[in-house]
Copies of this chain bind each other. A is one copy, B any other.
């Protein structure tokens, strides 16, 4: 039996996340977080601590879409050692909100994870878009270029 590497396990964590968003499975999304997770979300609040805040944010996010969200991961980097690892990637999120707004956005995401009792849990996450210093506007359409 081949041993899976930390990198394989972290790629599976991200694949599970993508599938859970597609299935609107907020339980799986929330359970992937450590109880003491420190989160820097793309939208306010600027910083949250603990899974309850993450769960609230995820449920609000999923519930805001009338169509979607479509969620695709690109340019995934993973690395780790022992019981700590990280994932850095760009995701494209799109769909139509209940308020009629169309979402078509590229976000940068960093997850730091610890393996607890054999399962990887996110202890820190950071999601963002850059902003234009001349206008102060968030740059939500910065797609990856190769």
Query: Which chain A residues have a beta carbon within 8 Å of chain B's beta carbons?
Result: 38, 40-47, 75, 77, 79-86, 88, 90, 106, 108, 110, 112, 114, 123-124, 126, 128-133, 136-140, 142, 144
Contact = CB atoms under 8 A, between A and B. Distances in A.
B110 A41 contact: no
A136 B136 CA distance: 9
Contacts of A137: 136-138
Contact of A47 (B80, B86, B114, B144): B144
5 contacts: A41-B130, A42-B128, A46-B106, A81-B84, A128-B128
A133 B93 CA distance: 14
Contact of A110 (B85, B110, B114, B130): B110
Given A81-B81, A137-B137, A138-B137, A124 B40 contact: no
Contacts of A77: 38, 124
B40 A139 contact: no
A124 B108 contact: no
Contacts of A114: 79
Contact of A84 (B41, B84, B136): B84
A108 B140 contact: no
Contacts of A136: 137-138, 140
